[in-house]
């Protein structure tokens, strides 16, 4: 029968009748703040990770030109932090580069200070361009140079300043979306503009990352005590790996930034790597459940992402690969890439996976 009569439509067991009564039932239970799982289950439990985030690149030439323009729009003091948020184009307006991480590029002009504060979100800096600026974290005043990786653990007081004569720009990555997912954000300001620093530049690296530890130190810290992992110390290690052929087919000659107390990740919510790709390297495909933020410290090349635009990167460009997207790197010359993700958080929760 092609067309159902009104009587048949209303008949018990007919499609129309079932849908109508189901909707009436849904409306009824909604008044009691309940909903049918069977209508939403397939979106909640997917067979594979799904993401609305996109692979994207921020070219340093654009970032630099536009953030220098912000120097004329607002002072560091007024802004508290003069940062351009790197917004994932798949999720504009969310202040996120991946679903769990915030990324931005910060500018401090000569003579400026970004006042001391602290918050439950953890931060890292990856220094891009400009010499003469410092960040002061937990009493250590650290000069920031190109390629330096700087830790600001949760609740660590931090202020930045630039007594030099060049604009200083760096990549900020924070776990704010992760902290805010748990609705657990706190922050506070201090009475003074700058914290008193009583540890000389490089103190925490020498004290904790030189094969010795302060006697009696407990070996349980869930965060690294090192404030700055300087590029000048990391780059020769990459060279050693290259020279002995310790080169991963996907990740190149890569080291993981470690907590020297226990070998764990630098922070519970974020983990980072730095990798050298020798000339002629053509990476094999890789994917993992952690969305990756990359920054290029040296060289240039491209990263091919399955089903998305190929990303072309050069020095100080920042790019993002969303979770579970297959990608591989094809540098055009010897290159160095920094990367950071939420992998430690996923591993702690037992949900991290990788594949090819
Ligand atoms: O430098 O303290 O990009 O608190 C976002 C929040 C930087 C910082 C950001 C921050 C900071
Ligand atoms: Fe901060």
Q: Which string of DSSP letters, residue by residue, matches 241-307?
A: HHHHT--BTTTBEEEE-B-TTTS-BSSSS-EEEEEEE-TT--PPPBEESS-EEEEEEE--EEEEETT
Question: 321 is written with which tokens?
Answer: 């690969």
Query: What is the per-residue pLDDT for 5?
Result: 53
Are both 14 and 71 inside the same structural domain? no
| 153 domain-assigned | yes
Are both 183 and 290 inside the same structural domain? yes
Q: Is the CB of 104 under 6 A from ligand 1?
A: yes
356 residues of the chain, pLDDT tens digit each: 455 555 555 566 677 788 889 999 999 999 999 999 999 999 999 999 999 999 999 999 999 999 999 988 999 889 999 999 999 999 999 999 999 999 999 999 999 999 999 999 999 999 999 999 999 999 999 999 999 999 999 999 999 999 999 999 999 999 999 999 999 999 999 999 999 999 999 999 999 999 999 999 888 889 999 999 999 999 999 999 999 999 999 999 999 999 999 999 999 999 999 999 999 999 999 999 999 999 999 999 999 999 999 999 999 999 999 999 999 999 999 999 999 999 999 999 999 999 99
Number of domains observed in the structure of the chain: 2
Q: Is the CB of 83 under 6 A from ligand 1?
A: yes
| 338 domain-assigned | yes
| 51 domain-assigned | no
In 10 A of CB 222, how many CB atoms? 16
φ/ψ (deg, to 5) at 319:
-140, 160
φ/ψ (deg, to 5) at 288:
-155, 165
Alpha helices in the chain (DSSP H): 6-10, 15-30, 41-44, 60-73, 76-79, 176-181, 203-208, 231-244, 343-349
| 50 domain-assigned | no
Sheet of 327-331: strands edge to edge?
311-313, 301-305, 327-331
C-alpha neighbours within 13 Å on the C-beta side of residue 251: 21
Query: What is the per-residue pLDDT for 18?
Result: 84
Instruction: Tell me which residue range forms the domain holding 37.
Output: 6-44
- What CATH number is given to the structural domain containing 78? 2.60.120.10
| 69 domain-assigned | yes
Are both 30 and 84 inside the same structural domain? no
- Residue found by looking up tokens 């979770």 in the block: 323
Are both 33 and 124 inside the same structural domain? no
Query: What is the per-residue pLDDT for 70?
Result: 95
User: What's the CA gap between 156 and 121, in Å, rounded?
Assistant: 10
CA of 158 to the centre of ligand 2 (A): 6
Are both 229 and 157 inside the same structural domain? yes
Query: What is the per-residue pLDDT for 232?
Result: 98
φ/ψ (deg, to 5) at 61:
-60, -40
Query: What is the per-residue pLDDT for 223?
Result: 97
| 307 domain-assigned | yes
Are both 305 and 186 inside the same structural domain? yes
Are both 183 and 162 inside the same structural domain? yes
Are both 118 and 266 inside the same structural domain? yes
Give the ligand 1 atom nearest the CA of 152. 2
Ligand 1 probe mutation, 70, 77, 83, 159, most atoms within 8 A of CB: 83
CA of 117 to the centre of ligand 2 (A): 6
Are both 298 and 261 inside the same structural domain? yes
Nearest to 103 by CA among 44, 49, 175: 175
Query: What is the per-residue pLDDT for 1?
Result: 42
DSSP E strands in 93-211: the ranges are 102-108, 113-119, 123-129, 134-137, 140-143, 149-152, 158-161, 168-174, 187-189
Q: Are 267 and 335 in contact (CB under 8 A)?
A: no
Are both 273 and 131 inside the same structural domain? yes
| 254 domain-assigned | yes
Q: Is the CB of 172 under 6 A from ligand 1?
A: yes
Q: Are 211 and 138 in contact (CB under 8 A)?
A: no
Question: 200 is written with which tokens?
Answer: 């000389």
> How are beta strands 113-119 and 102-108 bridged, if at all?
unpaired
Are both 40 and 138 inside the same structural domain? no
Are both 31 and 123 inside the same structural domain? no
| 49 domain-assigned | no
């Amino acid at each position: 029968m092609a067309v159902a009569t009104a009587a048949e439509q209303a008949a018990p067991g007919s499609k129309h009748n079932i849908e109508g009564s189901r909707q009436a039932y849904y409306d009824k239970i909604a008044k009691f703040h309940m909903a049918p799982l069977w209508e939403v289950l397939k979106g909640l439990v997917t067979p594979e990770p799904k993401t609305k985030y996109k692979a994207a690149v921020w070219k340093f030439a654009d970032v630099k030109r536009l953030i220098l323009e912000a120097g004329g729009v607002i002072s560091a003091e007024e802004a508290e932090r003069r940062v351009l948020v790197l917004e994932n184009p798949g999720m504009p307006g969310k202040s996120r580069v991946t679903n769990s991480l915030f990324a931005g590029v910060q500018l401090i002009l000569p003579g400026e200070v970004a006042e001391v504060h602290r918050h439950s979100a953890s931060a890292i800096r990856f220094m891009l361009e400009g010499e003469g600026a410092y960040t002061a974290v937990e009493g250590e005043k650290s000069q920031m140079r190109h390629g330096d990786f700087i830790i600001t653990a949760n609740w660590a007081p931090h202020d930045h300043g630039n007594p030099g004569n060049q604009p200083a720009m760096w990549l900020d990555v924070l776990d704010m979306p992760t902290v805010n997912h748990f609705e657990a954000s706190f922050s506070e300001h201090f009475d003074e503009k700058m914290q008193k620093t009583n540890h000389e530049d490089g103190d925490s690296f020498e004290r904790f990352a030189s094969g010795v530890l302060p006697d009696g130190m407990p070996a349980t810290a869930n965060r690294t005590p090192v404030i700055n992992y300087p590029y000048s110390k990391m780059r020769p290690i990459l060279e050693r790996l290259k020279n002995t052929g310790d080169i991963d087919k996907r990740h190149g000659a890569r080291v993981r930034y470690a907590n020297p107390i226990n070998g764990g990740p630098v922070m519970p919510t974020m983990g980072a790597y730095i990798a050298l790709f020798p000339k002629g390297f053509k990476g094999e495909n890789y994917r993992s459940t952690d969305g990756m933020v990359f920054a290029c410290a040296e060289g240039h090349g491209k990263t091919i992402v399955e089903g998305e635009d190929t990303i072309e990167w050069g020095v100080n460009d920042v790019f993002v690969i969303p979770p579970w997207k297959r990608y591989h790197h094809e540098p055009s010359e010897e290159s160095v890439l920094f990367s950071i993700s939420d992998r430690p958080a996923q591993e702690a929760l037992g949900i991290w996976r990788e594949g090819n």
